[in-house]
Chains A and B, each alone.
Chain A
Amino acid sequence: MISFEDVEYVYPSGVKALDGVSLKIEKGEIVALMGENGSGKTTLLKHLNGLLKPTRGRVIVDGVDTRSATIAELARRVGLVFQNAESMFFSSTVWEEVAFALRNFGYDEMIVRRRVEWALNFMELGDYAESSPFLLSGGEKKRLALAIILAWSPEVIALDEPTTGQDQLQKEKLMQMIRLLKEQGRTIIVSTHDVEFVAQLKPRIIVMRRGKVIADGGAEEILLNEDLLRSCNLLPPQIASLTRELGFIGIKPSLKHPREVAKELLDALSRIMREG
């Protein structure tokens, strides 16, 4: 579905933001890009829809080399939600904001209306349909940016720091949405340093540092590797630290749900007490 082949990207200022990135992402995968600010996550995302083209190497999306396609062509395949949601907005109402791209893609008004309503309701923005996008709170703006992309339903959905400023209920909603999109066969790529969110979502994780991919693996493999996380200004999820610290009573490091950890702990304790 997506492949990066030895991609290097140098900004006009001379900063090398991607330094020989090679990776493959299959259709229907959920991938989290992790790494500290400035590690190249956003630059990588911008290569997916051709906003940036590699200085060296190439990026193939759905069989198309991004260097030979226009952003408009790529946008149908790849929806990118920016970290700063506001930069996307320009309409006078939330409703119009979501409808704009759909009309641009040439859908008829009936479908536009249905899709806008669906997307706004899904992101719990129905009440704000007639409000100005600029008057929404930070979290609501983020949801609107997502609703815009969801409405036209691209194959690949890339989210840049989607959990910033979101409360726990919205994060869980976002997680449900990501899983639902996966069920529909879409590919989801999320850049984030929200370790707690990733610990719950348990996606494949690609870790970046200074423009390079330094690790690529399952959620447990990456999030239980404390040294790796710290080398990238990330901290282990609290459950990982807790289960590791409880090793002295025979508990194994994990990303399990608090309920399961509680049960494991009680089982371990009663075993110890039985054995005296």
Chain B
Amino acid sequence: MLGADRREAGGEAEGAPAIIQVENLSFRYYGSEQYALRDVNLVVRRGEFVVLAGRSGCGKTTLLRCLNGLIPNFYEGEMLGRILVDGMDTRYTPTHILSQAAGMVFQNPDNQLFALSVEADIAFPLENLGFPREIILERINWALKALKIEDLRYRSPFELSGGQKQKVAIASVLAMRPKILLLDEPTSSLDPVSARNLIESIVELNKREGLTIIISEHRLEHLLPHADRLIVMDRGMIVRDGDPRGILRDEDLLVYGVAPPKVSEVARCVNAHRGCLKFEEIPLTVHEFVEKVRRLIR
């Protein structure tokens, strides 16, 4: 594992050991002739914050399903190549073991929550795995605290807002103490403020708890400023993989169905003019953009 390719590791996690290795992975769903994933190779290091982008249907969801073993253990199809998650080969590791290494949060939290209280929802998978009561309570306390939702503990999930539900869904995954958190468009049904709050919580989990994050999203403006690495997929393949600023500077991602943050777009347009202002580094936030302009006229 230590000899793995380091070229593509992003900022903070550089040099950290690989936690996910995907080798020559292809997959097609049962009944489908087209491959949803085509020869994907990927190394993710412990603690990395990875954003997955690309058109819908490009293979993001399928790749995430492969990473927590839902493929091939739950979805039928033909899988070529192999994946090691925290050293375990997903083909031969039962899902309940894998879910303790890589937890998955889905688009729609309603599909993940079903119990009568938030506490019971978080406890359920742990009870199922036969953890002792003290450990379960300890894990619930920790997960609620990590997401700052202690006040929701005794509420019914059904009376919560979309953003709160999604945090509970993350807490219930977190209680399994995974090293990797996989999130499939977790903010897509949330209003903008709730979406930004959720992303802030995810960033905290990465920074404070050292969780490895792989998140697929269409709305990138709140996410990219925190990402070590951007992976763009197209037709089942990884077509770009690297530092977000570099990728955004060098090309227009719209052909892949990806909308860069508007500030990055403006900066690219400014660069194209070759005028008195040039962004060596593409800004990802309004603040970065405005600071650059201020420095110029000072």
Give A residues with C-beta under 8 Å from B.
36-38, 83, 135, 137-140, 161, 164-171, 193, 195-196, 230, 233-235, 237-239, 241-242, 245-246, 248-249, 258-259, 261-263, 265-266, 269-270, 272-273
Neighbour of A234 across the interface among B29, B61, B191, B289, CB < 8 A: B191
Which residues of A are found within 8 Å of B276, using beta-carbon distances? 266, 269-270, 273
Bound state CA distance, A16 and B292, in angstroms?
49
Quick one: closest B residue to A273, CB to CB?
B276
Which residues of A are found within 8 Å of B190, using beta-carbon distances? 37
Known A-B contacts A140-B56, A249-B297; the reply to A258 vs B218 at CB < 8 A is no
Beyond A167-B54, A234-B193, 5 additional pairs, beta carbon < 8 A? A37-B191, A245-B290, A262-B269, A269-B293, A269-B296
Please tell me if the beta carbons of A242 and B275 are within 8 angstroms of each other in the complex: no
23 A-B residue pairings within 8 Å (CB atoms): A36-B194, A37-B190, A83-B189, A135-B31, A164-B188, A165-B107, A165-B218, A167-B55, A167-B56, A169-B55, A196-B262, A235-B193, A235-B196, A242-B266, A242-B290, A245-B287, A258-B265, A258-B269, A261-B266, A262-B266, A265-B293, A266-B276, A272-B297
In the complex, whether B241 has a CB less than 8 A from a CB of chain A is: no
Bound state CA distance, A140 and B58, in angstroms?
12
Neighbour of B259 across the interface among A36, A165, A196, A272, CB < 8 A: A196
In the complex, whether B2 has a CB less than 8 A from a CB of chain A is: no
Contact with A along B102-121 (1 / 0, CB 8 A): 00000100000000000000
Within the complex, the shortest CB–CB distance from A99 to chain B, in Å, comes to 22
In the complex, whether B161 has a CB less than 8 A from a CB of chain A is: yes
In the complex, whether B178 has a CB less than 8 A from a CB of chain A is: no
Please tell me if the beta carbons of A137 and B270 are within 8 angstroms of each other in the complex: no
Please tell me if the beta carbons of B263 and A242 are within 8 angstroms of each other in the complex: yes
Which residues of A are found within 8 Å of B219, using beta-carbon distances? 196
Within the complex, the shortest CB–CB distance from A36 to chain B, in Å, comes to 4
Known A-B contacts A196-B259, A269-B275, A269-B297; the reply to A168 vs B218 at CB < 8 A is yes
Give B residues with C-beta under 8 Å from A.
29, 31, 54-57, 61, 107, 161-162, 185, 188-194, 196, 218-219, 221, 254, 257-259, 261-263, 265-270, 272-273, 275-277, 286-287, 289-290, 293-294, 296-297
Bound state CA distance, A249 and B125, in angstroms?
56
Bound state CA distance, A258 and B263, in angstroms?
8
Please tell me if the beta carbons of A168 and B293 are within 8 angstroms of each other in the complex: no
Please tell me if the beta carbons of B221 and A238 are within 8 angstroms of each other in the complex: yes
Within the complex, the shortest CB–CB distance from A264 to chain B, in Å, comes to 10
Please tell me if the beta carbons of A169 and B254 are within 8 angstroms of each other in the complex: yes
Please tell me if the beta carbons of B270 and A241 are within 8 angstroms of each other in the complex: no
Which residues of A are found within 8 Å of B258, using beta-carbon distances? 167-168
Which residues of A are found within 8 Å of B162, using beta-carbon distances? 37
User: Which 9 residue pairs are nearest across A and B when measured between Cβ atoms?
Assistant: A139-B56, A262-B269, A167-B257, A168-B259, A258-B265, A238-B262, A233-B193, A235-B192, A266-B275
Within the complex, the shortest CB–CB distance from A187 to chain B, in Å, comes to 25
Bound state CA distance, A68 and B242, in angstroms?
60
Which residues of A are found within 8 Å of B263, using beta-carbon distances? 238, 242
Which residues of A are found within 8 Å of B294, using beta-carbon distances? 248
Quick one: closest B residue to A36, CB to CB?
B191
Within the complex, the shortest CB–CB distance from B291 to chain A, in Å, comes to 10
Quick one: closest A residue to B266, CB to CB?
A258
Within the complex, the shortest CB–CB distance from B161 to chain A, in Å, comes to 6
Bound state CA distance, A38 and B221, in angstroms?
24
Which residues of B are found within 8 Å of A38, using beta-carbon distances? 161
Within the complex, the shortest CB–CB distance from B236 to chain A, in Å, comes to 13
Bound state CA distance, A214 and B2, in angstroms?
59
Please tell me if the beta carbons of B293 and A246 are within 8 angstroms of each other in the complex: yes
Within the complex, the shortest CB–CB distance from B183 to chain A, in Å, comes to 14
Within the complex, the shortest CB–CB distance from A272 to chain B, in Å, comes to 6
Quick one: closest A residue to B219, CB to CB?
A196
Bound state CA distance, A157 and B164, in angstroms?
31
Please tell me if the beta carbons of B262 and A258 are within 8 angstroms of each other in the complex: yes
